[in-house]
Structure 1
Amino acid sequence: MKTVQFKQMKDGTQEEYKFLHAYEDQYAKGLPDRILEALKNLENTLSGYLVTRLEHSLQSATRAEADGADIEMIVAALVHDIGDDLAPYNHSQYAASILRPYVRPEVTWVINQHGLFQNYYYAHFLGGNRNERDYLIDHPWYQSCVDFCEKWDQASFDPDYPTKPLSYFEPLVREVFSREPFDSHYVGNQTMGKSAVDIALSGQV
């Protein structure tokens, strides 16, 4: 079989879906390469800062590593702005959805909320509420997100900071994004069919 025969999904057979699943599984193995390529493309996005978006991402990850963060949080710092091109108004959620199958829920939640928490540094200059994040103040991962933004995100626009190159972080990217998706060893007992992570993403405990 080279292609399925159905023209509507409801007409597919078990054999056809097993065939497609094998293709999709093989394609998914290329995810680390696509993540790295997407990071490289950040070199050409969003002008106006003293560093490129790629340099900002690399610097965030470099700072995270220097502070003793684990591999999941380092990779999260690296990819936290990967959605800027395709999701400029919800880039946090875009990045979180990419990370979700491979990291613990805390990391996913922090990345999902980092755009809101980052508003603390500038929203008041644009007529917004810099403290809007405080509706989540009782969430167990609130401080983790505050620290992510304060120590790594908002601080990483310095062209003179000794930032490590993408090649340095490549092995970490490959390790995280080559994991079995939704493996309970990494993400706990949440699976695609459960809503615990979705509840966490919404800001609820």
Structure 2
Amino acid sequence: MTRIFRGDPARSPLLRDGMRYVEPPELDAFGTPEWLRLREQRRVFDAEQQAAHVLRVLEASAADPSFGYQVNNFRHCVQAATAALQDGRDEEYVVVALLHDIGFTLCPTNHGPFAAALLGPYVSDASRWLLEHHQHFLAHHCHDHPDEAFDEHARERWRGHPHFAATADFVARFDQGTILPGLPEAPLAVFAPMVQRLFARPPRRLPPREA
């Protein structure tokens, strides 16, 4: 029988001096003052911590094994970002390249929307659309794939969309080929300040997801 132990009774430390805990033990007991305090403190917390959390998630996979690709997902992401950087793309594009597959092993069947949900409030509509749809565009390069989910014509349903060409170009140049040992791989530290600056942007309210 599994033994269940009580958690540590000590409170977790607050991020900064001057922050205050909310006291009610349950959400049902929160009033407007508690929600206002959390809202204000959350803004500071997210601005200082979100980028670090995202980078930790990515870096934690650096030594992961592969299930068949010659490089693991971490190296693929770094290769994609390095290629975008070398191509002279702007900082947002480089971060999108770095994090486009952050959900590849966390949410393998829906990793495009995963990345779009993470980055969407901080990037342009074009970048969000690219993240949302890139896994469907990738199927164009997966010839003879036996799984029905990899329909190489799947992207055609969006042909004519304003972001179709840019997404197809991203997948062709910075996604489907960045899976090889020996490709340039900049240290994650090169990209960390870019990620920090992106997540320091004020988050925007997203429009409804497109089909």
TM-score of the superposed pair, with normalisation by structure 1: 0.84
**Distance between the aligned counterparts of 1:59 and 1:152, measured in 2?**
8
Look up the SS of the partner of 2:84 in the other structure: helix
Asked whether 1:108 is paired with 2:116, we answer no
Q: Which amino acid aligns with 2:76?
A: H
Asked whether 1:161 is paired with 2:183, we answer yes
What is the deviation of 1:169?
0.8
- Aligned match for 1:179, one of 197, 201, 204: 201
Task: Within 5 Å, give how 1:32-181 maps onto structure 2.
Answer: 32-43=51-62, 44=64, 46-122=66-142, 124-128=144-148, 129-181=151-203
Look up the SS of the partner of 1:42 in the other structure: coil
Q: Among all aligned residue pairs of Structure 1 and Structure 2, give the percentage whose two residues are the same amino acid.
A: 28
**Distance between the aligned counterparts of 2:201 and 2:152, measured in 1?**
37
Check the 8 A contact 1:60/1:152 in 2, yes or no: yes
Q: Which amino acid aligns with 2:75?
A: E
Task: Within 5 Å, give how 1:15-30 maps onto structure 2.
Answer: 15-29=33-47, 30=49
What is the deviation of 1:64?
1.0
What is the deviation of 1:23?
3.3
Check the 8 A contact 2:66/2:73 in 1, yes or no: yes
With over 3 angstroms needed to count, the CA separation of the structure-2 counterparts of 1:165 and 1:22, relative to structure 1, is: same
What is the deviation of 1:58?
0.5
What is the deviation of 1:45?
5.5
**Distance between the aligned counterparts of 2:95 and 2:104, measured in 1?**
17
Check the 8 A contact 1:60/1:153 in 2, yes or no: yes
Q: Which amino acid aligns with 2:199?
A: F
**Distance between the aligned counterparts of 2:195 and 2:113, measured in 1?**
19
Between stretches 107-116 and 157-166, larger displacement belongs to: 157-166
Task: Within 5 Å, give how 1:189-204 maps onto structure 2.
Answer: 191-192=205-206, 195=207, 198=208, 201-203=209-211
Q: Which residue of 2 aligns with 1:186?
A: none
What is the deviation of 1:20?
1.7
Look up the SS of the partner of 1:89 in the other structure: helix
Query: Where is the helix percentage greater, Structure 1 or Structure 2?
Result: 1
Deviations 1:14-41 (A, max 9, x none): 1111122133223312001011101112
Tell me, which stretches of 5 or more residues in structure 1 are unaligned? 183-190
With over 3 angstroms needed to count, the CA separation of the structure-2 counterparts of 1:127 and 1:20, relative to structure 1, is: closer
**Distance between the aligned counterparts of 1:4 and 1:115, measured in 2?**
44
What is the deviation of 1:6?
6.3
Larger gyration radius, structure 1 or structure 2: 2
Q: Which residue of 2 aligns with 1:185?
A: none
Deviations 1:77-106 (A, max 9, x none): 000111123211101101111111111110
Q: Which amino acid aligns with 1:42?
A: S
- Measured on the aligned residues, the alpha-carbon RMSD in Å equals 1.8
What is the deviation of 1:46?
4.2
With over 3 angstroms needed to count, the CA separation of the structure-2 counterparts of 1:162 and 1:86, relative to structure 1, is: closer
Deviations 1:64-83 (A, max 9, x none): 11222111111000001111
Tell me, which stretches of 5 or more residues in structure 2 are unaligned? 1-19
With over 3 angstroms needed to count, the CA separation of the structure-2 counterparts of 1:127 and 1:36, relative to structure 1, is: closer
